[in-house]
Chain A
Amino acid sequence: MIIADKKPIEEIIETIAPFEQILILGCNECVTVCEAGGKKEVEILASALRIYFLNQGREITIDEKTIERQCDHEYLEELRGRVDRYQAVVSLACGVGVQFMADKYKTLEVFPGVNTCFLGATETRGVWVELCQACGSCILAQTGGICPVTRCAKRVMNGPCGGSTKGKCEIDKEIDCAWQLILDRMKRLGRLDKYEAVAPIKDWSSDRAGGPRKIIREDVR
Chain B
Amino acid sequence: MRLAYSPSIKIIPVPCTGKVDAIHMLRAFEKGADGVYALGCIEGECHYNHGNLRAKKRTEQVAALLDKVGIERDRVAMFNLSSSQAQRFVEIAEEMTARILDLGPNPIKTAKKKRVA
Q: What residues make up the interface of A, taking CB atoms closer than 8 Å to B?
A: 9-10, 40, 43-44, 47-52, 54-57, 59
- A44 near B65 (CB under 8 angstroms)? yes
B26 sits at the interface (CB 8 A): yes
The residues in B between 27 and 61 inclusive whose CB is less than 8 angstroms from any CB of A are 27, 29-30
Residues of chain A contacted by B68 (CB below 8 angstroms): 9-10, 48, 52
Contacting pair B69 A48 (CB below 8 A)? yes
Shortest beta-carbon distance from A124 to chain B in Å: 13
Alpha-carbon separation in the docked complex, A54 to B112 (Å): 7
Residue of A nearest to B29 (CB): A51
Residues of chain B within 8 A of A9, CB atoms compared: 65, 68-69
Binding site for A on B (CB under 8 A): 21-23, 26-27, 29-30, 65-66, 68-71, 107-108, 111-112, 114-115
Not counting A43-B23, A52-B70, A55-B70, a sample of 9 additional A-B residue pairs whose C-beta atoms are within 8 angstroms of each other reads A9-B65, A9-B68, A9-B69, A40-B22, A44-B65, A51-B29, A51-B30, A57-B111, A57-B115
A49 to B27, CA, bound (A): 12
Q: Are B26 and A44 in contact (CB under 8 A)?
A: yes
B22 engages A55 (CB within 8 Å) = no
Residues of B within 8 A of A51 (CB): 26, 29-30, 66, 69-71, 108
A40 to chain B, nearest CB (A): 7
B111 touches A40 (CB 8 A): no
Please judge, given known A-B contacts A9-B65, A50-B30, A51-B71, whether A44 and B115 are in contact too, CB under 8 Å. Answer: no
Which residues of chain A are within 8 angstroms of B29 by Cβ–Cβ distance? 51
Cα of A56 to Cα of B71 in the assembled complex, Å:
11
Which residues of chain A are within 8 angstroms of B30 by Cβ–Cβ distance? 47, 50-51, 54
- Taking the closest CB of chain A, its distance from the CB of B89, in whole angstroms, is 28
Instruction: Chain B residues near A52: list those with CB within 8 A.
Output: 68-70
> Given A43-B23, A55-B70, A55-B107, A48–B65 Cβ distance below 8 Å?
yes
